[in-house]
Amino acid sequence: MRAKRKKIYLIILLALLAVILVFLFLIKIQSNGIAYEEKYSADWVGLAEVSAELSSGAFLEIDWKEVLGEKKDNCLTRADVRLIAENLGVSEYIELPGFWKRHVVTRAEWNTVFRQMLDYLDMNEVVSEETFLVLDLMEADGRNVLVTNKGDYFTALSIPFFEKWQSYRIYASGDTCLGIVSFSEEEEEVKDAYLKQMTADSVTFLYQGAQYQIQAASQSVLEPGVCDFVFLNREITTIREKRDAINGDLLSYDEEFIEIEGYGKVSHDGKIPVYRTYGEVAEKSISDVVLGNMELTYITGGENVCAILLKQPANIADIRVLLLSDGGKFRDEVYLKCSTDSSVRFGESVSDAAAMQLLSASAYFGGGGSETLVLEPKDPGAQIYLCDGDGNSVSNGYAGTMEVRKMPDGYTVVNEVPFEQYLYAVVPSEMPSTFAPEALKAQAVCARSYAYGQLMAADLAAYGAHIDDSTSYQVYNKVARTQSTTDAVDATCGQVLTYQGNVVSAYYFSTSMGYTGTADIWNVDDPAPMAYLQQACLNENPFDGDLSTEDGFAAYIATTQNGYDSDIKFYRWSATADFRDKTVSINEIIEARRLVSEKNIQIVKQGSEEPQESLEGLGAVTGISVQQRNSSGAVITLCLQYEHGSVLVKTEYNIRKILGVCLNKITFADGTEKEGDTMLPSAYTTVEQQADGTLILRGGGYGHGLGMSQNGANGMGKSGKSYTDILNYFYRDIVIEEMGNILP
């Protein structure tokens, strides 16, 4: 009996010992540094993740590495939580987890504590809780990036923390994921994606510039199209097809609305995905839509446009020109009349107008609304005129149609005109019709190339236009068309200049000083796409000196050469200027141009090597000098010396504006003089400061000096050069080809 009792005691003792050992083992694996792995777990939180969560807002003032030590590969323990709370001064105000100090804290426990800390300390709500679906994971610029259905998030957490197609609830600060709250049990949507291909066991779709493929069993295979994909627990649970659509040309778009021809304005939620469905199916962008020249399909959801489908290449037929009023986009009133009977559309209303009947925009827009007023002649050869209130024409006649829109700042007027007819009104406005026929042809090709590029860019899409009618783009319809300029357009119909397969911006200007320049006059970041703009000499005998030096350029500009445009008065000029009482005017230009591009205005205060943001404290201008020229002699960096610092000014336009405001008088090569100019003819000039503080400028040329000299082209045409000779002389390694062969 005693032996049996001893045996029972021994079994109990061994069982108790086993329990103690198991308990100690459990304590050990829950102890600091044992159970941790660099991945997501609900059972622990790594100190590295906690440090990341404490790296923003109210927590920034504390060095958490110093507080927590070098235990970044360990799990967060209850002792660590207490230490964090004490350093934040909130240990008395929040509920901390109890039990043994070295016991590892679960993610749920840490979330409870961290949220309390945020309630006390994150008064500006820097940290928020967000949910997203992880689509991809990558590294960029030394940081990990989470590609999600809510946009891209940077994170200090390592990639193994996340899984593709998993939904997470996170702590976020702006576009940074600080840490993970938990897996999300909510459905997440990938909205307005393009279903590219679907099989019985996989789905391939386009979304936010990337292509994704996910294994997904399905009993029915859907056709390609715009869809919303619903995910839960790493699986697609629902695919919602979007088939409702509107068709038509895109006339205008802004951050809230797009305007569809024949339909009017429709709202959208922001960035509209664009998918090309012909050829190689791909995601594009709104900039790939050729305004007014593409039959598009707009996928709608409710009252919004949610995607655009490109189903065929653009057919470049028309260009849309914003007609300015005294340099501005907006007008207080618009009066129109047409030389023939016309149709008038306003929203869904259509009416007729008799020939020369005066139409007032306010008569249609009196009731408000966002409709567009469209005047369309019934005769394609008709002319439309802008008029005053008495019906008197105040413009040359316009071909095509007229559109009037009411905007908060006033009315805008857009002329939609066939592309070649647009050029009929550009060439005579940009080059005298008396110029040599081959020069006019060269001008037509340049104008067509430039217009093509602007048509693709559609910078004025918010106003329903590609370009305006000013020198900011190309002067349009300011001079009546002539037979010679129309013939030049017809003779080169459809021809554009390309470089390495792309249509170029065929820049041109009035008159050279004997040489043309290169793209560094505009301080471009990447000159490679503009490599077709190389130095060209228009003189009979090239200069044998170095135009990039002060002495070399001064020696060259002091001589008169025989060249293609050397008989033009702008070929050489001299000027007197005075900056001594112009500091306020100069500073106004500097501030305005700095808003356009900071890199082209560098402000340095005395005693500091770092660029400044303000002119405050510099004092008055005390000197102006050339700091750098390019290989053709143009000033590309101008130094303005102040009492307490200096300003470096880059780009030919900025330099011409600043020297222009100082001008007293310009004397041209033919002896004529001009006072009151506020723009120096060109940046090809010397700058000589006199003892009394005035400047003497000696220069040549008129315009930016890049591309084709128009007067030089005329000289070449007179000498027997063809328009192709002229174009290949001014633009290097270009090809003249048909616009229709270049599909956007």
Q: Could you read off the pLDDT of 429-467 as tens digits, one per residue?
A: 999 999 999 999 999 999 999 999 998 888 899 999 999
Label the pairing between strands 225-232 and 188-198: antiparallel
The angle subtended at Cα 394 by Cα 390 and Cα 396, nearest 5°, is: 135
pLDDT band with cut points at 50, 70 and 90 for residue 32: very low
Q: Does residue 60 surpass a pLDDT of 70?
A: no
Mean pLDDT of 661-666: 94
Which of these ranges, 26-35, 420-429, 632-641, has the smallest mean pLDDT?
26-35
Q: Would you say residue 114 has pLDDT above 70?
A: yes
DSSP state of 381: T
The alpha carbon dihedral of 149, 150, 151, 152 has a sign of: negative
Question: Residue 74: which residues within 8 A CB-CB, separation 6 or more?
Answer: 32, 33, 36, 46, 47
Q: Which of 496, 443, 517, 433 is nearest to 474 (CA)?
A: 443
pLDDT band at 677 (very low <50, low <70, confident <90, very high): confident
Alpha-carbon distance of 321 to 476, in angstroms, equals: 9
Give the pLDDT score at 1: 52
The residue-averaged pLDDT of 591-617 equals 89
Confidence category of residue 22, pLDDT binned at 50, 70, 90: very low
**What confidence score (pLDDT) does residue 21 get?**
47
Local confidence band at 79 (pLDDT 50, 70, 90 cut-offs): confident
pLDDT category, 270, cuts 50, 70, 90?
confident
- pLDDT at position 368, please? 66
**725-735 pLDDT per residue, tens:** 999 999 999 99
Q: Please give the pLDDT value at position 104.
A: 87
Distance in angstroms (rounded) separating the CA atoms of residues 707 and 725: 14
If you average pLDDT over every residue of the chain, what do you get?
A: 90
Q: Summarize the confidence of residues 41-63 as an average pLDDT.
A: 81
pLDDT for 9: 57
Distance from C-alpha of 743 to C-alpha of 722, rounded to nearest angstrom: 28
Confidence of residue 29 (pLDDT cuts 50, 70, 90): very low
Residue found under tokens 């053709």: 632
67-71: average pLDDT = 70
The pLDDT of residue 14 is above 50 = yes
Nearest one of 510, 495, 506, 504 to 430, comparing CA atoms: 510
Which residue type, as a one-letter code, is found at position 97?
P
Q: What pLDDT is stored for residue 348 in this prediction?
A: 83
Which region, left, alpha or beta, applies to residue 141 given φ > 0 means left and ψ of -120 to 50 means alpha? left
pLDDT in tens, 471-491: 889 999 999 999 999 999 999
What residue has token string 């923003």?
Answer: 56
- What is the pLDDT averaged over residues 83-102? 77
| Bigger pLDDT: 551 vs 676 | 551
Sorting pLDDT into bands at 50, 70 and 90, what band is 34? very low
Q: Please give the residue that has the higher pLDDT: either 279 or 369.
A: 279
The pLDDT value given to residue 12: 61
Task: Compute the distance between CA of residue 698 and CA of residue 557 in angstroms, rounded to an integer.
Answer: 7
- Alpha-carbon distance of 665 to 680, in angstroms, equals 10
Q: Which one-letter amino acid corresponds to residue 687?
A: V
Say yes or no to pLDDT of 203 above 70. Answer: yes
What pLDDT does residue 31 have? 44
With beta carbons less than 8 A apart as the criterion, state whether 299 and 263 touch.
no
Flag the least confident range among 139-143, 568-572, 692-696.
Answer: 139-143
List 240's β-bridge partners, or say none: 228
What average pLDDT does this structure show over 625-641? 96
Cross-strand bridge partners of residue 675 = 665
CB-neighbour burial class of residue 699 (10 A; exposed 0-12, middle 13-18, buried 19+) = buried
What percent of the chain is modeled with pLDDT above 90? 68
pLDDT in the model for residue 98: 65
Mean pLDDT (whole number) for 369-389:
91
* pLDDT value, residue 37: 74
The pTM score is 0.80
What's the confidence (pLDDT) of residue 58?
A: 62
Identify the pLDDT of residue 227.
95
Per-residue pLDDT at 11: 60
How confident is the model at residue 6, as a pLDDT?
Answer: 60
Q: Identify the pLDDT of residue 744.
A: 64
β pairing state of 495-499 and 735-738: antiparallel
Distance between CA 181 and CA 111 in Å, rounded? 7
d(CA 569, CA 330): 37
Q: Which of 186-195, 369-378, 588-597 has the lowest mean pLDDT?
A: 369-378
